[in-house]
Amino acid sequence: MIPYDFDYYRPETLDQAINLSKELKAAGQKSMYYGGGTEFISMSRLNNIISDAVIDIKNIPECSIYEIDGEELIIGAGITLSHITELNHFPLLSLAVKRIADHTIQDKVTIGGNLMGSIIYREASLALLVANSHILVGNTDSIQRIPINEYWDMDIKDKEGDLIIQLITEKRYLNLPYAHVKRTKNEKIDYPLVSAVALKDEENINIAFSGICDTSFRSKKMEKSLNNNSISSDKRINNTIEKIPYKILDDNNGSPEYRKFVLANILEEIIEKFEGGDSLA
């Protein structure tokens, strides 16, 4: 049971949702966009999230699309993780989201909720980051299509009030050689100690990570080191790890040194697998 009262809205259009958010903000009320609702319900029960209103996006047509349109795959923010895996238009994304939660939770968690929720791992972002996807974002000022790598680098405060509408990926990325490696402390579907996804795009490895720092990320400097074939694999891996751009997590799952050790093994696996021309799940 949620221990506080809030208003519930279910708009039918994007304009209605965005205008409603704007009106609530002007009235001094805090609102949240709502997809599957798993995080809102669980966090609200613990008083970790408090909102005056929730705006349910499930009736908005643009948020419920999952299709290939010409040369692009379009995924609405309201699409559940289980729907993504069932249709499997983007195998790397399907593989990554399949290990975010158990089947029961996957039927409720939406991709938009995973990307914009308060849980730091945001593993659905990884495949989108390495595929140079775009994100369609609505706020009180405009609707914009932004490269997800640019959006991900923005400060979280700059994203407050944003409605994630769609994720858009060029078709050519969907079936490139890929790798997905996730290491957890306990269960297979636990939060990641270290998680990495990669695409082999021509001669370069695009790679993104979760579990190492307090956000998921892709680093061009790390990729440059990883793709430096003029030195040994060991040096490539060591140089890549040295360029981690944020503070490494130190928690009950593992120390920074242990995370770096696990990451080194993962990078070795990915290099070997791509050199062999196979996909790694």
Query: Do 91 and 175 contact (CB within 8 A), yes or no?
Result: yes
SS3 47: coil
What single-letter DSSP state applies at residue 61?
A: G
The pairing of strands 192-201 and 204-210 is antiparallel
User: What is the pLDDT at residue 107?
Assistant: 82
User: What is the pLDDT at residue 168?
Assistant: 98
What strands lie across the sheet with 31-34, from one edge to the other?
7-9, 53-56, 31-34
User: What is the pLDDT at residue 51?
Assistant: 84
Q: What is the DSSP string of 199-226?
A: EEETTEEEEEEESSSSS-EE-HHHHHHH
Bridge partners, 53 (sequence order): 7, 31
CATH number attached to the domain at 61-173: 3.30.465.10
User: What is the pLDDT at residue 157?
Assistant: 63
User: What is the pLDDT at residue 176?
Assistant: 96
Query: Do 179 and 274 contact (CB within 8 A), yes or no?
Result: yes
| Nearest alpha carbon to residue 228 among 261, 256, 267 | 267
Domain range summary for the chain, segments of one domain joined by +: 7-56, 61-173, 178-276
Q: Hey, what CATH topology would domain 178-276 get?
A: Enolase-like; domain 1 (3.30.390)
- CATH, domain 7-56, list 3.40.50, 3.10.20, 3.10.110, 3.30.43: 3.30.43
What strands lie across the sheet with 72-76, from one edge to the other?
66-69, 72-76, 163-170, 134-138, 143-147
The pairing of strands 53-56 and 7-9 is parallel
Assign 3-class secondary structure to 116-137: HCCCCCCCHHHHHHHCCCEEEE
User: What is the pLDDT at residue 275?
Assistant: 81
User: What is the pLDDT at residue 150?
Assistant: 95
Residues of the chain with pLDDT under 70: 1-2, 36-49, 156-158, 188-189, 277-281
Whether this prediction's pTM lies above 0.85 is answered by yes
